[in-house]
Structure 1
Amino acid sequence: MVEKNDYIEKFIDESNKKNIPEQLPAIATRSKMIIYPNSVIPMFVGREKSLKALEVALEKHDNYIFLVSQKKLEDEKPKVSDLYRVGTIAKIVQVSKLPNGDLKVVVEGVKRGKIKKTVQDKKYFMFNVIQIDLEIKSTKKLEALARKIKDLLQNYMELTKKFPQEAIMAIEETSDPEIISDLVASIMPLELKEKQNLLEITVTEKRLKTELEILTREIELLEIEENLETTVKEKIQKNQREYYLREKMNVIKEELSDEDDEDIKEIKEKIKTGDYPKEVKEKVENEIERLNKMSPYSPEANVIRTYLDWLIEIPWNKKTEDNINIKKAEEILEKNHYGLEEPKERIMEFLSVRKLAKNSKAPILCFVGAPGVGKTTLGKSIAEATGRKFGRLSLGGVRDESEIRGHRRTYVGAMPGRIVQKIRKLQSMNPVIVLDEIDKLGVSFQGDPGAALLEVLDPEQNVDFVDHYLELPIDLSETIFVTTANVMHTIPPALKDRMEIIYISGYTDIEKYKIAQNYIIPKLLKEHGLSEKTFNISYKAVKDLISKYTREAGVRELEKKIAKIMRKSALKYSENEKRVKVGANNLHNFLGAPPYFDSEKNEKPEVGSVTGLAWTAYGGTILHVEVLSLSGKGRLITTGQLGDVMKESAKIALSLSRKLVESKHTEKGTLFEKKDFHIHLPEGAVPKDGPSAGVTLTTALISVVLNKEIRNDIAMTGETTLRGKVLPVGGIKEKVLSAYRSGIKEVILPKANEKDVEKIPEEIRKNIKFDFVSQIEEVLKIALIGSDFND
């Protein structure tokens, strides 16, 4: 690549010109700076072909080389056809190596040359070069032309103020028309074609005339620019630099005509021909008018351009036609989901109403359930059944109101909220959008995103939802919003009021097996490049996977385990190309020892050890409660990370236990004053809280005081009052499922929860005995071995 550095006038001895070889290695230059005769210029050489040509010139051609320009400067590997025919024969004066491996070469332009024949072009260019003799007739006209150009060139240099003193002195010291001509061609900021044209003109007088026109044109442009600056400066004060720049642009616009750039023309065309609301068109026109009044280099101009892009990219009136076929929708739900009868039924009702009343306001469905039970995919099924576009937004951890409402345009980096961003991406005003993890919204000094969602999800308000960035109302009333959550109590109450809650309980083992066989295994076989011919997993292996390797309400962990088995199977198959069979007997070879056992209940009846039932965000679980009595003064000690609610339950249980024991065994009532009671819930690293451990704690305490064993085949849940009444609790289905998975055959539940048992799958109801109680004495009679309560 040639770079302009300096210009040194150099006379070449005619005897040297006669010794120029006919065949010359050549370098294809790729810079607008063409090397002319009578000049010494540095250039940088880095391409492989150019380095080879330079080496050959130094070794075999007396330092002579032919420099010819590429027609397209961006070509990295030009061919002969990509080069101009006329170039400059130059002599290598100096070569030095740069740190990056390229060479810096100082060359001396000797004479014009023309390619006669290509000798070779593989490893480097080598041409037969004809020396071009110039036609110089010394006339008064030529002398006058040279003087005129010399004067204009000095004038040009003074106007631009960009040339060093050495260059000006070089002009003043020469009167040779040829040297003057080449010097002008070298320093003028011309396009490549103009510079090449000057190199190819062999008649000096003609070349000087061309350069005279170019110099005259450039000087006129510089004078116009100088006049414009003078005109602007007269209008403003010296200390108002910003105002000066704007006025300068205005004067330039007046001179060059005030035409819009291509981007603005495109925006105007879209607004004119596109389907946009009236207020949007008015807003765009106002913003374009503001833009035209300011400098295009102003930071605010970029803000307006970005804002205009957003306005025209929002699909203000674009919608997809609903294509609701109830039978087909039912098939889609059955194909995508196993079980989940209640959510499916509600979705079918929803779709039926949408088909009959197209303009009805869509309710906001909120699916609540443990991870992995299929909440998000239910939203996808709604989109598939209606023929609408589908989008998903995760709200977990969002604590900035502007994530929903957008930033105001006064902020740096402002942009619309995530709702508007998703609608722009989907290019539809009536998509199905799933708002995942709505129970995990945060609140900070940046605002309350939950409160901002009220306007989005309220059917009475979202018809005119205003995003702070757009500053225009956008109709969200036809968008179907579906929300998901793991728990209910962390959803803001006002937000909960605007949604229809649909609970999705965990799957039974049978349901998990069906899902694994019909959905998970076929999908993973395809993802891992396996088939039924190369991989097989037995019924017993899948059953053990469910019972011994996973304990969850959903099927996410089950899918991970099956994927791990398939990865190992793919490796085994690729090694021996034999069908891989996975059974219960070799399951540990793929997953290691099982982390769970068939049953987690106590091995035998024990004093002070009760199996309770608890609900978590990830499904139900069994909870072992242990109580130990120690010599002391009636203190209550709790360990195992109990929350405030559970600590309150423990205090109530202690008081209730004392009352019950004193009523039946007066002599043992004094034990409560002489003993300390230590309540412990194992797995101390896991926080535990909730109002459903009252009956469990009371049973364990009375068992210790009376020294009565508690049945190990029974589990219980429920809260108690100080008077011994058993209160209803939530999460019954999840708790019963966890008891079933753990091998429990009998469950004690509050009488008020009897209706909730109907939602439990029939195959589980058949295998578990339910005891419904309303008083704590009933619990003690069932759970304590040899109890004399409730006789």
Structure 2
Amino acid sequence: MRSEFKVLPLLPLRGILVFPYMVIHLDVGRAKSVQAIEESMIRDRVIFLATQKEAQTDEPGENDIFQIGTVAEVKQLLKLPGGTIRVLVEGIARAKVRSFISDDPYFLVEVEQYSEEFEKDSEIEALMRSLVYQFEQYVKLSKRIPPETVVSVVNLEEPGRLADIIASHLALRIEDKQSILEAADIVKRLEKLCAIVAKELEIVELERKINIRVRKQMEKTQKEYYLREQMKAIQRELGEKDERMAEGEELREKIAEAKFPKEVEEKALKEVERLEKMPPMAAEAAVVRNYLDWLLSLPWNKSTRDRLDLKTAENILEEDHYGLKTVKERILEYLAIRKLAKKMKGPIICFVGPPGVGKTSLGRSIARALERKFIRMSLGGVRDEAEIRGHRRTYVGAMPGRIIQGIRQAGSKNPVFLLDEVDKMSMDFRGDPSAALLEVLDPEQNNTFSDHYIEAPFDLSNVMFITTANVQQNIPRPLQDRMEIIYLSGYTEEEKVQIAIRHLIPKQIKEHGLTKDMLKLSENTIRKIIREYTRESGVRNLERQIASICRKTARQVVTDKVKKVQVTAQSLNQFLGTPRFRYGVAEMDDQVGVATGLAWTEVGGDTLAIEVSIYKGSGRLTLTGKLGDVMKESAQAGYSYIRSRAAELGIDEDLYDKQDIHIHIPEGAIPKDGPSAGITMASALASAITGRKVLHNVAMTGEITLRGRVLPVGGIKEKVLAAHRAGIKTVILPSDNKKDMDEIPKKVKDKIHFILVDHMDQVLESALTAKPYVPVTLSADTPIVPPTPPYQPAIVNEEGTHIPS
């Protein structure tokens, strides 16, 4: 094979490839391509054609074009409207780009052109015959290439030309064509093309078999249709009823009995007419039947009568749940209004509270009090809008959404519908289910709720929707706006005792096959379980501990033939092991640099220990304990306030430059954030720096400003209940949170002394002892580190003066 070098303009091709000896029309519209064509016409009408690697690339670079292409001659040129040029080109020879000379205003390249020289031997002759035979078979089967093409190919004696012409007629991918173009060696080119034609031949043969199969199926269907029409004519002559006609009449009778709304009835009748016109075995007939079944099974006009006896309803609510006064009052108010106003829309209530406080079971009790059907739907992890609105009937396996499914399951259009875990929905590319719920939970819109599958408005205004959530902040704002939020903060110890006695113990005794006489739990034992084996807002862990006692009792009854087991506070550890929690902190001593804060979590309130240490350094403030940005800012604000009050607190100014301060909140693996710990961190800082102890039975919550103002915070009820569980006797709250104290149970308020403050000075006065417990040297060279326990308890007289013990 000989080669020669030429400098030619380059025309990049998109989605097409030109072989030598191939004649083809090309439409050229890009500016660079037009310039290349015009340059070739000025020269000798010769141009280099190379294909782009990606057809979508509008402005290809050197790396976007294949290096091997075809030198071609421009035979004709025609300018079209819009600046496009249509050219007729004929491939001359293969060529390879040696270098790009320029790319502006067009590509100019130096190419190495190959001229094919070969000696025809037996191997080449065999490859040519095999290729021609395969090509003939391909043309016969595919019907895409004119038979005349085979005649022109058979008479070719040049193997390279034969391969190029056959490759140009095949519908191959650009990559396959380029691989043939790049095969400079004649033998390799013929072998590669033989393999490609053989593969294409297999595909064409498979297509032919599929077409034959489809044609036979169509002929069979047409034959069945013809025979059925004949059968219908015979049945009409004999006076017999057609099966499909009978099915249509039966459906019409059911539609008339169902008493659909007018719009739904018209739609159902149209679907019946469609069904009658379809062949019985048609796939779409099954879809129509399923749709009609759903329409007929929905309770369009069926509803249950509400029990409007307020006394009975109140007794049922009291029987099922202890406490929860606000919720019970809301349900009784609804019943009273229903008794006066017959056409009241169903309320949309959202119970927000930590796990285990009875949100889901409360919905079941409400349904029992109203004598309504109860449906529960969990929204946790739902991320598809079709779960709410259903699928379009065009999809395979389409079904209505879970709202309509629940209504069908209830069999009435006014059930109590519980949407559980509404704060745990998510979204993805399939839509936002929370947005789909907006129509469901909007009293002004849900009387015409439209499901994608049913495609007819269904009235949900009589449904009593109840939603539950652990965290209000995770519920989308538009959804919150449509619901009445009722908070269930948690139970006091007394409420937990009563719930255990009235509900949990009888339930677990029954579930474990025991009787009341076999197991006895005293009230003191229950209190000890609550105090030392659980620490929660709800009663789930309490029920688990009771279940554990029941299991061990059942084993003693079966193994040791014991007839009665008495569990006392002293023998409790034999059933539940070592206590998991330490009840109360009242027995602990006052400490320096350790303050007790109150925090709100998703599972209720909790106490938060904040520790501060001071040691020799360079005035650096270190914060540890996996704190969020808000909490870090609160620590910085408290630190700045203490520094600004150095003179009033008796602190040496040099202390901050030569001592490091470390603030740590234990349980570092748990993320902590929020504005509630500002005054707590400031108190711990003041205690560590001044050496004054923080009173052990005092807990506090509130945000601090740089000027020392104490700002209000949320979650007061949960935090106070947590303080009560921990045995705290005094709680410091911001003055602006006084209104939130009405939510705190009276039994808890009677056992805790509340101090309302507006300024940080009041906090320090209430939380710290009057004098340091040991002499404190405020020299910058001497680190202030609290001594190791035990400490002596601090005693403060009526004037607030510290009295040494």
TM class by smaller structure: 0.5 to 0.7
Measured after TM superposition, the shift of residue 634 of structure 1 is: 3.5
Matched, 1:638 2:623: yes
For residues 578-597 of structure 1, what are the structure 2 equivalents within 5 Å?
Answer: 578-597=563-582
Is 1:626 equivalent to 2:601 in the alignment? Answer: no
Amino acid paired to 2:637? I
Tell me, in whole angstroms, the C-alpha distance in 2 between the residues paired with 1:696 and 1:602. Answer: 21
The yes-or-no answer on 1:701 pairing with 2:708 is: no
Kept in 2: contact 1:781–1:787 (CA 8 A) = no
User: For the structure 1 residues 790 and 729, does the alpha-carbon distance in structure 2 shift closer, same or farther, using more than 3 Å as the test?
Assistant: farther
Correspondence for 1:572:
556
Corresponding residue for residue 222 of structure 2: 247
Structure 2: distance between partners of 1:634 and 1:266: 89
SS at match of 2:747: helix
SS of residue paired to 2:605: strand
Task: Give the CA deviation at 1:243.
Answer: 5.1
Q: Which residue of 1 aligns with 2:503?
A: 519
Question: 1:132-189: per-residue Cα shift (whole Å, max 9, x none)?
Answer: xxxxxxxxxxxxxxxxxxxxxxxxxxxxxxxxxxxxxxxxxxxxxxxxxxxxxxxxxx
Say which of 634, 643, 655 aligns to 1:658: 643
Instruction: Confirm whether residue 350 of structure 1 aligns to residue 334 of structure 2.
Output: yes
Q: 1:443-470 CA distances to partner (integer Å, 9 max, x unpaired)?
A: 2222221111110011000000101111
| Superposed counterparts of 1:129-148, under 5 Å | none
Q: Match of 1:621, as an amino acid?
A: D
Match of 2:594 among 605, 609, 618: 609
Please list the CA deviations of residues 633-682 of structure 1 after superposition, one character each: whole Å capped at 9, or x if unmatched: 433322222122222222222222222225544x6233333333322111
Letter of the 2:658 partner, please give it.
K
Within 5 A, what are the aligned runs for 1:235-274?
Answer: 244-257=219-232, 259-260=243-244, 266-274=250-258
* Residues 661 and 702, structure 1, Cα contact 8 Å, conserved in 2: no
Say if 2:248 and 2:273, in contact at 8 Å, map to a contact too. no
Shift of 1:715: 0.5
The residue type equivalent to 1:641 in the other structure is K
Q: Supply the distance in 2 between the matched residues of 1:357 and 1:766 (Cα, whole angstroms).
A: 41
| Deviation, structure 1 residue 263 | 6.2
SS in 2 for 1:709: coil
Secondary structure, in 3 states, of the residue corresponding to 1:391? strand
**For the Cα contact (< 8 Å) 1:780–1:787, is it kept in 2?**
no
Distance 1:775 1:290, change over 3 A: same
Report matched runs for 1:416-431 at 5 Å. Answer: 416-431=400-415
- CA spacing shift, 1:329–1:238, aligned 2, 3 Å: closer
Q: Is the 8 A contact 1:549 1:595 kept in 2?
A: yes
- State the shift of 1:498 in Å: 1.0
Over 6 Å off, 4+ runs = 236-239, 787-791
Task: Compute the RMSD of aligned alpha carbons.
Answer: 2.4
* 1:352 alignment partner AA: A
Aligned counterparts, 1:528-539, within 5 A: 528-539=512-523
SS in 2 for 1:260: helix
Q: CA deviation at 1:787?
A: 6.2
Per-residue deviation, residues 235-282 of structure 1 (Å, max 9, x unmatched): x99986665454333212202225318766653432233222222222
CA distance in 2 between partners of 1:636 and 1:484 (Å): 42
Write the letter of the residue equivalent to 1:583: T
Distance change in 2, residues 1:582/1:664 (3 Å): closer
CA contact (8 A) 1:364 1:499 kept: yes
How far did 1:298 drift? 3.9
Task: Answer yes or no: is the 8 Å Cα contact 2:378–2:420 preserved in 1.
Answer: yes
Give matches, 1:662-701, under 5 Å. Answer: 662=647, 664-665=649-650, 668-701=652-685
- Structure 2-normalised TM-score? 0.66
- Give secondary structure in 1 for the equivalent of 2:613: strand
Cα distance in 2 between the residues matched to 1:608 and 1:672: 16
* 1:451 aligned partner: 435
Q: Does 1:389 align with 2:373?
A: yes
1:738 equivalent to 2:751? Answer no
The answer to whether the Cα contact below 8 Å between 2:350 and 2:466 also exists between their aligned partners in 1 is yes
Counterpart check, 1:772 vs 2:756: yes
**CA distance in 2 between partners of 1:613 and 1:366 (Å):** 26
Report what 2:702 is aligned to. Answer: 718
Q: Note if contact 2:649-2:690 (Cα within 8 Å) is conserved in structure 1.
A: no
Matches of 1:697 and 1:297, distance apart in 2: 76
* Pair 265,630 (structure 1): closer, same or farther in 2 beyond 3 Å: farther
Tell me the alpha carbon deviations over residues 465-502 of structure 1, each in whole angstroms, 9 at most, x when there is no partner: 10111111110000010111111111111111111111
Alpha-carbon distance, 1:752 to partner? 1.1
Secondary structure of the equivalent of 2:255?
A: helix
The runs of 5 or more residues in structure 1 that have no matched partner are 1-235
1:657–1:242 distance in 2 versus 1, CA, 3 Å: farther
Equivalent residue runs for 1:243-322 within 5 Å: 244-257=219-232, 259-260=243-244, 266-322=250-306
2:245–2:276 contact (8 Å) kept in structure 1: no
The 1:535/1:728 distance shift into structure 2, 3 A limit, reads same
Tell me which of 466, 478, 481 is aligned to 1:482: 466
Deviation of 1:363 (Å): 2.4
CA contact (8 A) 2:251 2:272 kept: no
Q: 1:360 matched to which residue of 2?
A: 344
Matches within 5 A, 1:127-276: 244-257=219-232, 259-260=243-244, 266-276=250-260
TM-score, L = length of structure 1: 0.67
**What displacement does 1:314 show?**
1.2
SS in 1 for 2:394: coil
Compute the displacement of 1:323 (Å). Answer: 2.3
Q: Are 1:326 and 2:293 an aligned pair? A: no
Unaligned 5+ residue runs, structure 2? 1-210, 233-241, 773-798
**Counterpart secondary structure, 2:447:** helix
1:311-346 C-alpha deviation (Å, 9 max, x unpaired):
211111111112210111111111111111121112
Q: Which residue of 2 aligns with 1:179?
A: none
AA paired with 1:251?
A: Y
In 2 relative to 1, CA 675–247 (structure 1 residues): closer, same or farther, beyond 3 Å? farther
> Against the structure 1 CA distance between its residues 679 and 414, is the aligned structure 2 distance closer, same or farther, given a 3 Å change threshold?
farther
Task: Kindly provide the amino acid, as one letter, of the partner of residue 669 in structure 2.
Answer: A
The answer to whether the Cα contact below 8 Å between 1:318 and 1:427 also exists between their aligned partners in 2 is: yes
Distance 1:577 1:595 in 2: 28
| Equivalent position amino acid for 1:247 in 2 | Q
Q: Provide the rounded CA distance (Å) in 1 between the counterparts of 2:477 and 2:350.
A: 13
8 Å CA contact 1:778–1:790 kept in 2: the answer is: no
For 1:563, give the aligned amino acid. Answer: A
Correspondences of 1:88-107 after superposition (within 5 Å):
none
Does the 8 Å CA contact 1:637/1:677 hold for their aligned counterparts? yes
SS at 1:607's partner residue?
A: coil
